[in-house]
Amino acid sequence: MESDFVDIKFGTGGWRVPKEDFNEENITKLIIGIEKYLKEEYASVISLPLIVVGFDCRAQSKEIASYILSVLRDDWGFNVEGFKSPITTPMLMDYVVNTGDCVGIMVTASHNSLNMNGIKFITGDRLDATNDITDKIEWYSNNCAECRPLKMSSTGWLTNDYITGIITQLKNVNKIKKRNFNIVVDIMHGSSAEAFKKFAKELNISYKLLNEKPLGFCNYEPRPCKENNKELIDGVISGGGLVDLGIAFDGDGDRLGIVDRFGNYIDGNDLVCLMANYLYKSGMKCTISKSCCTTNRLRKIAQKYGYDCIDTPVGVKYLVNNMKFLPQSFAGEQNGGMIFAEHLYGKDAIYTLAKVLEMLAIENKSISELISDMYREFCWISPTAKTILWHYNAEDIVKIEDIIFGFVPIIYGYVIRDISKMDGMKITYNDDSFISCRFSGTEPVIRIIVDADKEEKTNSILSIYSNNLKEILGDLVWEE
């Protein structure tokens, strides 16, 4: 690997960089930062915490995990353990929680494309590291890290099974078993296969797996979305009405996409709203949180039951901070990612699937029927949120930010209620429709999201905003 140092900077989900920057020197910088943070944090106690290292199916993730284990154990004397095969991020989080006096390091770039990899740091209280922790790790990594001679070595691996814990948290497991669900599952070449098989066996689920073999994500983006899951949709349709659901897991198993029995991809906003409505009907009594890009329909659901829904910046760590402070038991994102506090302060695709199956079994309906019921209940017509992506060169970010933060278009017939710069630029109108324009926390991409109560309003707002902004930005941004 070349000696190509970069500043360590955590995004919305850990530290992620292009593969040319994911080298021994930069990985070592980060691990030194974690080492110094832990030694400061545990300075007043006799022993340092156990460090557990996991990895996903991405190319070289296992080798990097082995490298990290050798650094921590052989060079610095930490008590370390590692998994023998690829795992999901939620499995590592679950192990950290149940072990006690333990932290986790996960080698993953989640759903990002083949040219990325990264590392997540997981603390002992069921969550990704919060800003105050990552700020310290960044400072130590960038100011105190010296590159040391390092070596590879064999590691002591451990196995872990967190499925039993998931099953025990479900309501009426017998009802789920009696439904004998039949599911098509797209593993997306990620690390969820073995955990899902165990889960399916425990709940009498019949299944067909797609893209189970780890390929290192070469020429592949393990992001569950309609565009990436045509094979899943075709697999459900070919089932001739005998398939209950299609499921796609992302690369590290912390979120999923769902296809109904007719091959319709379920909008992420709809999925989060459906789950919140089910939880409130089942007795949830608390305010909830959503990322600022998630539909305001989620707030309308919370308000129906006498509670509020609070916006946070995009990222699990922001949602979790809110949940722990209030406290809350549920939070969601527009991509269908959900957090259930009774399980983990982090997203978990298999637990989300478990709650979806619980809901279907208890309500004794299909997911498409439940969405139709919700739409009638709240007088909605169709999913309305739309997104466009612009790419940009990282060196232009300051110029682009100045333009975006200063751009507030006048749109005939719409009265601005609020302008927020909490995470990018968000303009909310009196009818609860909004424009969100924000920079991705993991890649040089700008996402413009518009959500209104009718599709034609969404299209109109998105067209006016994006066309006028693109005219100002010119060649600084482009679509692919």
Helical (H) or strand (E) element with 339: strand 338-340
Lowest mean pLDDT of 39-43, 294-298, 335-339, name the range.
39-43
| pLDDT tens digits, one per residue of 318-329 | 898 888 877 789
**Is 224 or 70 the better-scoring residue by pLDDT?**
224
Q: Please answer whether residues 118 and 109 qualify as being in contact, where contact means their C-beta atoms are separated by less than 8 angstroms.
A: yes
pLDDT at 26 over 60: yes
Compute the distance between CA of residue 233 and CA of residue 82 in angstroms, rounded to an integer. Answer: 36
Region 215-234 average pLDDT: 80
The pLDDT of residue 281 is 96
Q: How confident is the model at residue 55 (pLDDT cuts 50, 70, 90)?
A: very high
Going by C-beta distance under 8 Å and a sequence separation of 6 or more, which residues neighbour residue 214? 57, 86, 189, 190, 191
Using CA atoms, how far apart are residues 360 and 353, in angstroms rounded to an integer? 11
Average pLDDT rounded to a whole number, residues 28-55: 84
Of 23-27, 53-57, 224-228, minimum mean pLDDT range: 23-27
Question: Which pTM value belongs to this model?
Answer: 0.83
Residue (of 110, 148, 120) closest to 29 by Cα position: 148
Q: Is the peptide bond before 222 cis (omega within 30 degrees of 0)?
A: no
Residue 347 has pLDDT above 70, yes or no: yes
DSSP-assigned letters across all residues of 377-420: HHT--S---EEEEEEE-GGGHHHHHHHHHT-----TT--EEEEE
Close Cβ partners of 246 (under 8 Å, ≥ 6 residues apart): 183, 184, 185, 186, 229, 232, 233, 235, 236, 258, 259, 260, 263
The three-state secondary structure class of 95 is helix
Looking at per-residue pLDDT, the higher value among 10 and 207 belongs to 207
Percent of the chain, pLDDT > 70?
92
* Whether residue 2 has pLDDT greater than 50: no
Mean pLDDT of 7-34: 84
pLDDT of residue 155: 35
Residue 152 has pLDDT above 70, yes or no: no
Res 298: pLDDT: 95
Average pLDDT, the chain: 87
The answer to whether the Cα torsion of 164, 260, 248, 299 is positive or negative is: negative
- Band (pLDDT 50/70/90 cuts) for residue 46 is low
User: How far separated are the first and last CA of the chain, in Å rounded?
Assistant: 30
Most confident of 114-123, 188-197, 416-425: 416-425
Q: What is the pLDDT of residue 365?
A: 96
Q: How do residues 429-480 score in pLDDT, each as one tens digit? A: 999 999 999 998 878 999 999 999 888 999 999 999 999 999 999 999 999 7
Q: Is the pLDDT of residue 236 over 80?
A: yes
Q: Read out DSSP for 20-39?
A: TT-SHHHHHHHHHHHHHHHH
Whole-number pLDDT of residue 127? 66
The mean pLDDT of 39-62, rounded to a whole number, is 82
For range 380-393, the mean pLDDT: 89
Residue 383 has pLDDT above 80, yes or no: no
Q: Hey, what's the torsion of the CAs at 436, 299, 89, 243, to 10 degrees? A: -100
pLDDT value of residue 159: 43
Segment 189-217 shows an average pLDDT of 88
Question: What is the 8-class DSSP label of residue 214?
Answer: -
Burial state string for 360-377 with b = 16 or more CB within 10 A and e = fewer than 16: bbbeeeebeebbeebbee
In whole angstroms, what is the distance from residue 432 CA to residue 452 CA? Answer: 7
pLDDT band at 100 (very low <50, low <70, confident <90, very high): confident
Distance CA 39, CA 136 (A): 12
The dihedral sign for the CA sequence 20, 23, 27, 29: negative
Distance, in Å, from the CA atom of 431 to the CA atom of 356, rounded to the nearest integer, reads 31
Choose between 96 and 244: higher pLDDT. 244
pLDDT at 151: 41
Give 252-311 pLDDT, tens digit per residue. 899 999 999 999 999 999 999 999 999 999 999 999 999 999 999 999 999 999 999 999
Tens-digit pLDDT profile for residues 398-409: 999 999 999 999
Task: State how far the Cα of 224 lies from the Cα of 146, in Å rounded to an integer.
Answer: 39
> Which stretch of 141-155, 302-316, 357-371, 385-399 has the lowest confidence by average pLDDT?
141-155
What's residue 282's pLDDT?
94
